[in-house]
Chains A and B, each alone.
Chain A
Amino acid sequence: MYTVQSLLQTALDAASTTGTPLAEIKSLNHLEHHKVANGSVVRFRCMVQDNLDTLLCRAVVKLDPVPGAEEEDPAQPRGSRYLCGKYRHTVPLPDGYDVDDDFRAYSDQYTYHCTTVPGETPWLLDDEANELPPFGTPSRKRRTRSRDDDDDDDAGNMMARAPSFSPSPSPGLGPAPGDMDLGSPSASREGTPAASSSIGPAAKKNRPLAAAASSAAAAFTTPGATLRNLNDAIVNLPGTGAGAGPAFGAIVHFYDSDPSLKLNSIIDVVGILELTPAETAFRNPHDAEGIDFYEEHMAHHPPSSLVPRIHVLFHDTRAHPLASIPQPVVDPDASRAALALPLSVEAALGSSAAAAAAAAATRAHLAAAAGGDALAAEYLMLALVSRVTSPPEASSPLGSFHLNLSGVVGGSAASLYQAICDVAPLVVGVPLAIDLLNDRSFVPHKDYTTNRLVAGVLQLAPSTMLLVDETAMASGQVSQVGVANLFAFATIMDRAALEYDFGSSQGLAYDNITVAMDTPVVVFSEGTSMFASSKKQAFGNLSRLLELPLEPAAPSSTSSAPAPTVDHATAMLIRRFLAAVRWAPYTFDDSLSDAISDEFTTLRTDPTLNMDPQRLSLWLTLARWHALLHGKSSLDMDSWAAVKDMERARLARVAARAAAAAASS
Chain B
Amino acid sequence: MASSRRDYVSDKATVKDFVLNFRPATAQPSDPPHYMAVLQAVANRETREVNVSLEDLMEFTGGNTGLADAVAHNTARYLTLFQEAIDEVLPEPTANVEDADIVDVLMHQRRERANAAGGSAAGGAGGGAGGAGGDDGAGPSVPEFPPAMRRRYELRFIPPSKKEVMGIREAGAEQIGSLITLSGVVTRITEVKPLIQVATYTCDVCGFEIYQEVTGRTFMPVAQCPSERCRANNTRGKLYMQTRGSKFVKFQEMRLQELSSQVPVGHVPRSITIHLKGSLTRVATAGDTVEVTGIFLPISYTGFRQIRAGLVADTFSYAETAKDAVSDDAVATLAADSAVYSKLAKSIAPEIFGMEDVKKALLLLLVGGVSRNVRNSMKIRGELNVCLMGDPGVAKSQLLKYISRLTPRGVYTTGKGSSGVGLTAAVIRDKTTGEVSLEGGALVLADMGVCCIDEFDKMDESDRTAIHEVMEQQTISIAKAGIITTLNARTSILAAANPVMGRYNRRLSPTENINLPAALLSRFDLVFLLLDTPDVDKDQLLAQHICYVHREAKAPPLDFEPYDPALIRAYVARARECNPVVPDDLASYVVSTYVGMRENEARRKELHGHTSARTLLGVLRLAQALARLRFADVVTKPDVDEAVRLMHMSKASLTSDSSSSSGLDPKSAIYTIIRDEDARRGHSQTLRYDDILPLVIAKGYTAALLDDVMDEYADIGVWTISSDRSTITFVS
Contacts and interface: CB of A to CB of B under 8 A. Distances in A.
Interface string B661-688: 0000000000000000000000000000
Contact of A58 (B312, B544, B554): B312
A55 interface: yes
Given A483-B419, A601-B539, A616-B543, A90 B309 contact: yes
B185 A613 contact: no
A484 interface: yes
Contact of A263 (B266, B402, B420, B539): B266
A444 to B, nearest CB: 9
Contacts of A51: 267-268, 270
Contacts of B375: none
A478 to B, nearest CB: 9
B268 A480 contact: no
A141 B397 CA distance: 47
A64 to B, nearest CB: 13
B173 A480 contact: no
A614 B353 CA distance: 12
A504 interface: yes
A617 B549 CA distance: 9
Interface residues of B, number: 86
Interface in B207-232: 217-218
Nearest to B305: A93
A541 B415 CA distance: 13
Interface string A286-314: 01001111001100000000000000000
Contacts of A516: 266
Given A58-B310, A543-B393, A396 B551 contact: no
Interface string B275-313: 000000000001100000000001011011111111111
A613 B287 contact: no
Contacts of A658: none
Q: Choose among B298, B310, B391 the residue with the greatest number of A CB atoms under 10 Å from its CB.
A: B310
A93 B548 CA distance: 65
A570 interface: no
Given A50-B268, A510-B257, A106 B173 contact: yes
B16 to A, nearest CB: 27
A621 B546 CA distance: 11
Given A55-B314, A56-B298, A293-B253, A396 B414 contact: no
Interface stretch (A115-123, A179-187, A375-383, A588-596): A588-596
A511 B260 contact: yes
A446 B305 CA distance: 33
Contact of B414 (A56, A287, A515, A539): A539
Contacts of A513: 260, 263, 267-269
Nearest to A537: B455
A43 interface: no
A398 B553 contact: yes
B253 A262 contact: no
B301 A291 contact: yes
B395 interface: yes
B172 interface: yes
B311 A281 contact: yes
Interface in B556-603: none
Interface in B386-444: 391-395, 397-398, 401-402, 405, 408, 414, 416-417, 419-421
A282 B420 contact: no
Contacts of B550: 398, 588, 617, 620-621, 624
A612 B401 contact: no
Interface in B507-563: 532, 534, 536, 539-540, 542-544, 546-555
Contact of B267 (A260, A278, A612): A260
A480 B421 contact: yes
Contact of B392 (A54, A487, A510, A541): A541
A89 B311 contact: yes
Contacts of A451: 187-188, 255, 271
Contact of A596 (B271, B416, B547): B547
B158 to A, nearest CB: 26
Contacts of A458: none
Contacts of B419: 480, 483-484
Nearest to B170: A258
Interface in A446-487: 446, 448-449, 451, 453, 480, 483-484, 487
B546 A613 contact: yes
B539 A54 contact: no
Interface string A599-614: 0110011000000111
Contacts of B314: 53-56
Interface string A476-519: 00001001100100000001000010111001111101111000
B398 A91 contact: no
A484 to B, nearest CB: 7
A338 interface: yes
A99 interface: yes
Nearest to A503: B187
Nearest to A478: B419
A292 B270 contact: no
A395 interface: yes
B265 interface: yes
Nearest to A388: B553
B547 A540 contact: no
Contacts of A554: none
A88 B257 CA distance: 27
A148 interface: no
B190 interface: yes
A224 interface: no
B50 interface: no
Given A293-B253, A336-B552, A508 B287 contact: yes
B76 to A, nearest CB: 11
Q: Choose among A56, A85, A593 the residue with the greatest number of B CB atoms under 10 Å from its CB.
A: A56
Contacts of B352: 395
A613 to B, nearest CB: 5
Contacts of A281: 301, 303-304, 307, 311
Contacts of B269: 502, 513
A598 B540 contact: yes
B500 interface: no
A510 B266 CA distance: 16
Contact of A593 (B266, B313, B548): B548
Given A336-B554, A511-B260, A516-B266, A394 B351 contact: yes
Given A53-B314, A89-B310, A448-B188, A612 B392 contact: yes
Q: Choose among B304, B546, B554 the residue with the greatest number of A CB atoms under 10 Å from its CB.
A: B546
A56 to B, nearest CB: 5
Given A54-B314, A278-B304, A336-B552, A107 B173 contact: yes
Nearest to A543: B393
A53 B272 contact: yes
B309 A58 contact: yes
Contacts of A261: 267
Contacts of B188: 293, 448-449, 451
A593 B551 contact: yes
Interface of B: 169, 172-173, 176, 185, 187-188, 190, 193, 217-218, 253, 255, 257, 260, 263-273, 286-287, 298, 300-301, 303-314, 349, 351-353, 391-395, 397-398, 401-402, 405, 408, 414, 416-417, 419-421, 445, 454-455, 458, 532, 534, 536, 539-540, 542-544, 546-555
18 contacts: A51-B267, A53-B272, A55-B314, A101-B308, A106-B176, A292-B253, A293-B253, A338-B553, A396-B398, A484-B419, A510-B260, A511-B408, A538-B414, A597-B543, A597-B547, A613-B394, A613-B395, A616-B546
In the complex, the 10 A-B pairs of residues with the closest C-beta atoms, listed nearest first: A612-B393, A597-B543, A511-B260, A262-B266, A593-B547, A600-B543, A89-B310, A588-B551, A483-B419, A604-B534
Given A446-B268, A600-B540, 16 more contacts: A54-B270, A90-B307, A260-B264, A263-B266, A278-B304, A287-B303, A292-B193, A394-B554, A395-B351, A451-B271, A503-B187, A510-B260, A593-B543, A612-B532, A613-B546, A624-B550
